[in-house]
Amino acid sequence: MSPRIPISTEVKSLEMTKSQSVMSRLLRLLPLLLGSMLIASCASGRIDPTDPVGDNAKQIDGIMRLSGYMAAAVGLFVAGAVITAIVKFRERPTDDPNELPKQIHGNRKAELTWTLIPVFMLVFLAIVTIPTVFDLSSKSDGRTIKVEGQQWWWQFSYDVDEDGVSDIVTANEIVIPVGEEINLDIRSNDVIHSFWIPQLNGKRDAVPGRVHSWRISSPVPGIFYGECTEFCGLSHANMQMRAVVLTDEDYDEWVREQLTPANIPAAAAAKSGYDLFGRHCVSCHVINGVYESAADGNANLTSGYAPNLTHLMTRTSFAGAIFELYEEDGSVNIADLKEWIRNAPGQKPSRPENRQGMISFAETLSDKELDDLVTYLMTLGGPPPLMPS
């Protein structure tokens, strides 16, 4: 008869086998985990939160890095303590499996240490962070631009008067002069959105019925990219934006062009496109000087607004900034522009039947009519003062 193995030894052996099995599985998943972390750490296209340019973005980046360093220090300490415990108190061949290690209950110094150190770290982080939060929410002495989010694009109105009227309205691209602190009054015309251009500042929600103040600035000219960061429906991921920062001279020239109303074109194809626009597009879109019936929030959409197209060709993008308006050689991206007009819901998920997004004209306009409409749109200003690099 074989000797009876103590139950405690059997249990411990079973537990060790289970632990080895779990460890083996974790090791097999380690490459996948590391690969996922690497992919997640990469910047999303042109949007790079790790490269702040504006002063406001640099303040946020400084706090994030400080908290990251503090978290890393805590993580390293905890990892060191865990490794020390594993190595120092591991089971050795000479240990009696039935003998329990020395039991210790309570250590006031240790408990105070691991309680007070995190408290001091959090208090320090709060002292650094709170003044920055209030500073970022305050207004500067510079100009103010009204920012309106709607499904699924952004509208920017400049120098809005007491009656809410603005002579310059752009879509998806906010244009500002270099070195100037610009105030933003952020709101929404339908659901909750969130405004984020990470290289110029952090996130700020756009909430129906409320106005949230924010600021952006850049010490250098350039184009900076952003997106909506609050889930807002089908095309939330396609609700992008750009901040175009110009030199003072270029900005003044841009303003002069934006204040110039559109004219009725004389060329036959463009004139045909102008007439088609009047029959099919004016229930939503505005062109200052010729088609203004949809102004002041009267567009046939849930939000009441559609992009103002008066100076469309001075922009670098369209359709919520998901398509480039110009090719790399400087020519107009006619193919995508035409396809957008033909079948917008096929290019960008939307619900036009529910007044959320642009309808399809695939069954309404012929190829010749689409060409004429694009020809007319190409007469609306341009080219932009700054092209994407």
Residues in the chain predicted with pLDDT less than 50, given as ranges, are 5, 7, 11, 14
Q: What is the CATH number of the domain that holds 303?
A: 2.60.40.420
CA dihedral 57, 60, 61, 67 (to 10 degrees): 180
User: Sign of the C-alpha dihedral, residues 311, 321, 325, 41?
Assistant: positive
Tell me, yes or no, whether 125 lies in a domain: no
What's the confidence (pLDDT) of residue 7?
A: 47
How far apart, in whole angstroms, are the C-alpha atoms of residue 94 and residue 97?
Answer: 9
Tell me, yes or no, whether 193 lies in a domain: no
Instruction: Name the DSSP class of 291.
Output: B
Tell me, yes or no, whether 20 lies in a domain: no
Tell me, yes or no, whether 324 lies in a domain: yes
What's the confidence (pLDDT) of residue 11?
A: 46
Encoded amino acid at 230, one letter: E
What's the confidence (pLDDT) of residue 321?
A: 94
Tell me, yes or no, whether 16 lies in a domain: no
Structure token digits, residue 108: 């006031």
Taking the CB of residue 54, how many other CB atoms lie within 10 A of it? Answer: 24
Task: Tell me, rounded to whole angstroms, the distance of Cα 250 from its chain centroid.
Answer: 27
DSSP 180-244: --EEEEEEESSS-EEEE-TTT--EEEE-BT--EEEEE--SS-EEEEEE--S--STTGGG-EEEEE
CA angle 190, 182, 134 (to 5 degrees): 80
DSSP 308-363: B-TTGGGSSEETTTTEESB-TTS-B-HHHHHHHHHBHHHHS--BGGGTBSPPB-TT
Give the helix, strand, coil percentages of the chain, each rounded to 5: 40, 20, 40
Domain count, the chain: 1
How far apart, in whole angstroms, are the C-alpha atoms of residue 70 and residue 121?
Answer: 8
Instruction: Name the DSSP class of 287.
Output: B
Structure token digits, residue 141: 């002495």
Give tens-digit pLDDT for 100-145. 777 777 788 888 888 899 899 999 999 999 999 898 888 888 899 9
- Burial of 158 from C-beta contacts in 10 A (0-12 / 13-18 / 19+): buried
How far apart, in whole angstroms, are the C-alpha atoms of residue 199 and residue 317?
Answer: 19
Tell me, yes or no, whether 179 lies in a domain: no
CA angle 177, 385, 307 (to 5 degrees): 85
Structure token digits, residue 222: 């350039």
Tell me, yes or no, whether 116 lies in a domain: no
Structure token digits, residue 113: 């240490």
Beta carbons of 179 and 217 less than 8 angstroms apart: yes
**263: closest CA among 294, 290, 293, 295?**
290
Beta carbons of 265 and 372 less than 8 angstroms apart: no
Beta carbons of 190 and 48 less than 8 angstroms apart: no
The SS3 assignment for 97 reads coil
pTM assigned to the model: 0.81
What's the confidence (pLDDT) of residue 26?
A: 60
Beta carbons of 136 and 201 less than 8 angstroms apart: yes
Backbone angles phi, psi at 155, to 5 degrees: -120, 140
Tell me, yes or no, whether 77 lies in a domain: no
What's the confidence (pLDDT) of residue 33?
A: 73
**214: closest CA among 156, 169, 259, 166?**
156
Domain boundaries, position 282: 268-377
Please identify which residue in the block is written with the tokens 């290289």: 199
Structure token digits, residue 248: 């003072």
Backbone angles phi, psi at 320, to 5 degrees: 70, 25
Structure token digits, residue 262: 């559109």
